[in-house]
Amino acid sequence: MVRQPHDVRRPDRRRQPAPEVLVATPFDAAAVLAEAQRKESLTDWGPGHFERPLRVLLADYARADLNDIGTHILRSGIVHSLRMRLRTQEWIRRHPDILDEQVAAPIVVVGMMRSGTTLMQRLLAADPRFLCAYGWEVVEVAPKLGQTFTGTDPRIAISEAREAKSRELAPDLFTIHPMYAREAEEEIVFLADAFLSHVPESGAHLPHYRSWLDEQDFTPAYDYLYRMLRFLQWQKRQRGVRGQRWVLKSPAHLGYLDLLRARFPGVHVVHMHRDPRTTIASGASLNATLHAMHADNVDVNRVGAEWLQRMGWTNDRTMAVRDSWDAGRVTDIHFEEAVADPIGQVARVYDAVGVPLTDQARDAMRHWLQVRPREGARPPYRLADYGLRPEQVDERFALYNKRFRDRSSV
């Protein structure tokens, strides 16, 4: 998921950025932290170590070849993340029972981009017995202080307006990576808000931050994810929404399944699979589009090479962790089978977690399949557009393909 702040009107370098960006050091850590505190009139960041990764990220943004609009978008996004952290801490101070919430045994959908993760997540989320994070909840996870939880949440209208503006001003990006206010969304934002995340490298050339991340312990990010799910679950209770377990989804979890399980011991993983030739080309296409929003000059071959490296690294870690897991903790689903028989594949997940697939749940899933949002064809993309060859991808993912794509070994 790609989240941008509400005040970013268009990825168009002709528009003048906000005045606060037109300073000599827009990514100065002290200034960014102070701005978030000033806008919220709050100072307590709450628990968790986030300042060091934030400073490493800001330092690399300062070195990146960003245009004015890119600087504005990325800086505003960081300030927004910090504001949500401050506001969340104040909500918890006022309502300490938020920390009594328990997030038990989530179902987590993982897989490379365009492998069917969204389809699977939203089918599962159609079951009213499950909880999910909707787009409008992800955009502004912490409501304004003092907001009540009766009637229609005002954040829905904010998110729908943002959705409409994205369609109008960034149609290519919206087609590649749509985000809908009223659909289940990725929780990747909460990992990014801890500033331990591979999201920033998808939209800017950040070689130092990128390599630094590979040596870091992401436990603080998963602790923050758990904290935010508790907060969301508490908000849902205030609105009278109950659920047995969460349905989560993010490709970002692929490289960190060990930490995911450590934070959520009862987790069941749904691992989606598709030909890496397709998934790598798709990811490179999205990343190149994001880079072009933030910089005037983009080396698409570098973008392609970095994405191939990142996803190869990610899948190596995934397979190593899965080697130590019981087979029953993961349901493997192939993209082609999910498209051909979506509810049949969902039924396998229900069998694995020991939850009956009721007629009500089936009907809700069939209804979603009929009314789900559908975008036009996304812009064409090929591996060659990003300096990649099919043989490169096949070689890098040889073990993955043998384990998951070769049907004789599945």
Same domain? 231 vs 289: yes
For the chain, what is the domain count?
2
Residues 242 and 322 in one domain: yes
Tens-digit pLDDT profile for residues 334-391: 999 999 999 999 999 999 999 999 999 999 999 999 998 877 677 788 999 999 999 9
Residue 224 lies in a domain: yes
- Kindly state whether residues 223 and 89 are assigned to the same domain: no
Query: Does residue 343 form part of some domain?
Result: yes
| Residues 226 and 246 grouped into a single domain | yes
Question: Is residue 398 one of the residues assigned to a domain?
Answer: yes
Same domain, residue pair 277 and 360: yes
Regions of the chain with pLDDT less than 70: 1-24, 176, 376, 407-410
Does residue 24 sit within a domain? Answer: no
pLDDT recorded at residue 408: 40
> Which domain covers residue 393, as residue numbers?
105-132+218-405
- For the CA atoms of 316, 320, 321, 327, the dihedral, rounded to the nearest 10 degrees, stands at 110
pTM value > 0.75: yes
**What is the DSSP secondary-structure string of 170-231?**
-HHHHHHS---TTSB--SHHHHHTTT-SSTGGGTS--HHHHHHHTTS--HHHHHHHHHHHHH
| Residue recorded with tokens 């978030």 | 36
Q: Are residues 80 and 125 in the same domain?
A: no
- Asked if residue 115 and residue 79 are part of one domain, the reply reads no
Are 125 and 55 found together in one domain? no
Last residue of a domain, one of 68, 94, 120: 94
Does residue 88 sit in the same domain as residue 229?
Answer: no
Q: Are 239 and 317 within one domain? A: yes
The pLDDT score that the predictor gives to residue 378 is 74
Same domain, 353 and 273: yes
Whether 162 is in a domain gets the answer no
Q: Is 160 part of a structural domain of the chain?
A: no
Neighbouring residues of 224: CB distance < 8 A, sequence distance ≥ 6: 48, 50, 190, 191, 193, 194
How far is the C-alpha of 327 from the C-alpha of 329, rounded, in Å? 5
pLDDT of res. 225: 97
Q: Flag whether 210 is in a domain.
A: no
Among 57, 10, 31, 102, smallest CA distance to 193 is for 57
- Per-residue confidence (pLDDT) for residue 131, from 0 to 100: 97
Same domain, 265 and 311: yes
The residues, any chain, with a CB within 8 Å of residue 115's CB and separated by 6 or more, are 272, 273, 274, 279, 335
CATH of the domain at 392: 3.40.50.300
Task: Give domain status of residue 180, yes or no.
Answer: no
**pLDDT at residue 1, rounded to an integer:** 52
Last residue in a domain, options 44, 65, 94: 94
Instruction: Give the per-residue pLDDT at 407.
Output: 57
Among 94, 121, 149, the domain boundary falls at: 94
